[in-house]
């Protein structure tokens, strides 16, 4: 519950205010006891939220790893170069040509960097 993460308690909804909320047992506590109880609840909720975020992150990483493919180019391959230019007299940037080429790969420098023949 987002309200538990931010405020440390469950918020009353408009329906609760209209229909009434079940009476909870409220015991008188001193301020230090209340603060300690609130801190424990916030730690529990924070741990739960962190666990759920980690699970979702792992799931998204696994999905990305299984669906992504690394493209490997070799010398002699024809490629297009992404080189966006903002030309004011050509109209909207969405309609301008952002790709140049095709160019030929001359050398592979590392996994992401290639030298091309312009």
Report which DSSP code applies to 84: -
* Same-domain pairing of 12 and 63: yes
User: For 38-70, what is the HEC assignment?
Assistant: HHHHHHHHHHHHHHHHHHHHHHHHHHHHHHCCC
For position 26, what pLDDT does the model report?
A: 62
Nearest to 111 by CA among 82, 70, 79, 66: 70
Mean local confidence (pLDDT), 48-58? 94
* Same-domain pairing of 62 and 22: yes
pLDDT for 88 beyond 90: no
Q: Determine the 3-state secondary structure of 78 from DSSP.
A: strand
Contact present, 75 and 105 (Cβ < 8 Å): yes
pLDDT for 25 beyond 60: no
| Domains in the chain, number | 2
């Amino acid at each position: 519950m987002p309200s538990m993460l931010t405020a440390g308690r469950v918020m009353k909804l408009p329906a609760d205010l209209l229909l009434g909320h079940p009476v909870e047992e409220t015991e008188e506590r001193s301020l230090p006891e209340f603060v300690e109880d609130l801190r424990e609840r916030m730690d529990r909720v924070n741990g739960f939220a962190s666990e759920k975020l980690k699970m979702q992150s792992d799931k998204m990483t696994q999905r990305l790893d299984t669906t992504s493919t690394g493209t490997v180019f070799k010398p002699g391959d024809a490629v297009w170069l992404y080189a966006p230019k903002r030309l004011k007299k050509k109209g909207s940037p969405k309609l301008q040509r952002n790709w140049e080429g095709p160019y030929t790969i001359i050398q592979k420098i590392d996994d992401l960097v290639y030298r091309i023949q312009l």
